[in-house]
Amino acid sequence: MTTMNIDYLIIGQGISGTLLSRALMKAGKKVIVVDDGNVTTSSKVASGVINPVTGKRLVRTWMIDELLPFARNIYGEMEMELGVPLISQCNILDFHASRDAAQAFSGKLPDEMEYLRQVREEGTWQEYFRFNYGIGEIDSCLLLDIGTMLRWWRDQLLIKDALVWNRFEIAGCVIEEGSVRYNDITAQKIIFCDGPACIENPLFNKLPWSKDKGEALIAEIPGLPATNIYKQGINIVPWHNGQFWIGATHDWKYTDLQPTPAFRKRAEELLNYWLKLPYKIVGHIVAQRPVNMDRKPFVGLHPAMPSVGIFNGMGTKGCSVAPYFAAQFAQHLINGTSLLPDVDVKRFTKILTR
Ligand SMILES: Cc1cc2nc3c(=O)[nH]c(=O)nc-3n(C[C@H](O)[C@H](O)[C@H](O)COP(=O)(O)OP(=O)(O)OC[C@H]3O[C@@H](n4cnc5c(N)ncnc54)[C@H](O)[C@@H]3O)c2cc1C
């Protein structure tokens, strides 16, 4: 059997594996990506929203002033290479659910003039939605077509002979100080971008992972403009083929990854009250998010195994977080530049070397 010598073996082609492999290959490194083609992964289920201000308290997302322009540039570059749109501005219209919610939004306006404003011409939206307390707008939101991006990058990897379309089995992997062997591949390093599957990975299972199941519905809503993300207790997001993505849930106590009738019922009740247009549910999707307890990604090399790395723990914000830290990690691997201590997996040296 002839051995293939490469620089990096990357496990997983979700958004993390896609962005990291691209950054390394652009720098001239020889990379192979292994992906098992699972269709219910976080990256395939996500709506693709990059939102600078989140939550009921409208808090500015961690590092968003650096992450957002960086993400826009990287996805913009990919869009140019691909030749079809991948990223667009798509502001959130926040239909206040109560007087208190409306007041909370108004109270935030003076501090968040860059990202928040009150919608003046609310009348336009009366045709589509039932609402009584006004609409706030979250500006500079981006919407990424993740599905198209993943398919395009998978094709690029195939063309470059850099994709193994199969399940990676850690039992078949031999890890040495300066290299890693897997079947006929010898790599200088292996990097795990395998999303929540990494929770079972004996090399990284001690990290403070947290479970988070998310569900969404796919619907046809003829006549609803695909110009905005609409929010009231639930988000309606423009999706592929003129359809809309409606979600999502956060469930921390699940025992399986099946779609639940309870979510569908609750979502339909919300839509029946809020949406004036007829709609038809055509899909119900679900995945586990790769979440960790300190809500910062896991980036870097294993403190005890320099040939093993991780790029994971993107949580609820892979679309905004992954581009910036894929570039930072690639530079770290190639040139030895430092990682932001907040994301460096070495912050868990004690538990990883126990
Ligand atoms: C309902 C929902 C909505 C979301 N909405 C948003 C949003 O709007 N914006 C946002 O930024 N984030 C959102 N997220 C979070 C986002 O999806 C994640 O942060 C991101 O997709 C994580 O990407 P990843 O590549 O790290 O992991 P994953 O997407 O899980 O990718 C891991 C890849 O590794 C592969 N893999 C795993 N194990 C193996 C193995 N043994 N062998 C081979 N391949 C393997 C998997 O098949 C997969 O392709 C949402 C998540 C959910 C569930």
Residues of the chain with pLDDT under 70: 1
**Nearest atom (ligand 1) to Cα of 196:** 30
Burial of residue 269, with CB atoms counted within 10 A of its CB: 0-12 exposed, 13-18 middle, 19 or more buried: exposed
pLDDT of 1 reads 65
Measured by CA distance, the residue closest to atom 18 of ligand 1 is: 318
**Which of 10, 19, 20, 41 for a ligand 1 pocket mutation test, highest count of atoms within 8 Å of Cβ?**
41
Give residue limits of the domains in the chain. 4-45+147-209+294-352, 50-145+210-291
User: Which residues, 6 or more positions from 39, have their beta carbon under 8 angstroms from its beta carbon?
Assistant: none
Topology of the domain comprising 50-145+210-291: D-Amino Acid Oxidase; Chain A, domain 2 (3.30.9)
pTM of the model: 0.97
> What is the 333 CA–ligand 1 centroid distance (Å)?
23
**Which of 194, 229, 234, 246 for a ligand 1 pocket mutation test, highest count of atoms within 8 Å of Cβ?**
194
CA–CA distance, 171 with 181 (Å, rounded to integer): 11
CB 313 less than 6 A from any atom of ligand 1: no
The CATH class that applies to domain 4-45+147-209+294-352 reads alpha beta
Task: Tell me the chain's radius of gyration from C-alpha atoms.
Answer: 21
Cβ–Cβ under 8 Å, residues 150 and 158: no
Tens of pLDDT, residue by residue over 194-234, are: 999 999 999 999 999 998 999 999 999 999 999 999 999 99
CB 243 less than 6 A from any atom of ligand 1: no
DSSP bridge pairs for 219: 244, 281
Which tokens belong to 208?
């403070």
User: Which residues, 6 or more positions from 176, have their beta carbon under 8 angstroms from its beta carbon?
Assistant: 307
pLDDT of 120 reads 87
